[in-house]
Amino acid sequence: MSGKKILLVVTGGISAYKSAVLVRLLTCRGSEVRVVMSAAATEFVTPLTFEVLSGNCVSLNIFTRRERPAVEHVELSKWADRVVVAPATADIIAKAALGVADEIASTVLCSSRSPVIYAPAMNEIMWANKAVQRNIETLKADGRIVLEPGSGALACGDVGPGRMAEPEDIVKALKEKGKWMNRDDK
């Protein structure tokens, strides 16, 4: 993972706290990490957490004014060797499957040419929803990697599939070269 540029898209689920651990694991392995957060994600973990752990500013809004004018979502997409969406909520999965680009997280995904891995996290009823499963199949058909969620106690108190993959398992998936068909390993 040394020298890899990883763009982490954090969306609004309780599993966002695990994404902070993921940033730490990646940076300790020599990766440069930049983070994009949806507005909902900031309700669970603060941008400051990711800024401290990554050493980079967090992107929160496609309309943020910068010293130098930029099309930030395109620049981030071009910069990244790999994109990780963790947690991947039903909302961002649907947006990505449909090509919706209406905020920073979805515009980055829509403009990305890099390999993208999704780590879904949601209630087991949502995970089993036919529309969610159709969207998952669309992402896979588009060449995206979707990690199966774990099963167990969920934040809502239910038990079943829907737990976000553990950060260590996401790092392992990032290392598996055979899964990445979209871009040569740099």
178: phi then psi, degrees, rounded to nearest 5: -60, -25
CA quadruple 168, 18, 94, 56: dihedral, nearest 10: -100
Q: What is the pLDDT of residue 185?
A: 40
Mean pLDDT across the stretch 34-48?
97
- Of 142, 71, 137, 69, nearest in space to 104 by CA: 71
Dump pLDDT digits (tens) for 53-78: 999 999 998 766 555 545 566 688 78
Say how far apart CA 72 and CA 61 lie, in whole Å. 9
As given in the structure block, the two tokens for residue 118 are 């999704």
Indicate if the pLDDT at residue 180 is higher than 70. no
Say how far apart CA 9 and CA 31 lie, in whole Å. 15
The model's pTM: 0.89
Percent of the chain whose predicted confidence (pLDDT) is above 70? 88
Q: What is the pLDDT of residue 76?
A: 83
Indicate if the pLDDT at residue 182 is higher than 50. no
Question: What is the architecture of the domain spanning 5-178?
Answer: 3-Layer(aba) Sandwich (3.40)
- State the DSSP code for 170: H
Q: Give me the amino acid identity at 55.
A: G
Residues 6+ apart with CB under 8 A from 24: 53
Segments making up each domain of the chain, as ranges: 5-178
Q: What is the pLDDT of residue 177?
A: 53
Say how far apart CA 161 and CA 48 lie, in whole Å. 30
Say how far apart CA 61 and CA 58 lie, in whole Å. 9
Indicate if the pLDDT at residue 181 is higher than 60. no
Dump pLDDT digits (tens) for 116-171: 999 999 999 999 999 999 999 999 999 999 999 988 877 777 778 889 999 999 99
Q: What is the pLDDT of residue 61?
A: 82
User: Cβ-count burial of 130 within 10 angstroms (0-12 exposed, 13-18 middle, 19+ buried)?
Assistant: exposed
Instruction: Assess whether the previous peptide bond of 87 is cis (omega < 30° from 0).
Output: yes
- State the DSSP code for 117: E
Catalytic positions, please? Answer: 156
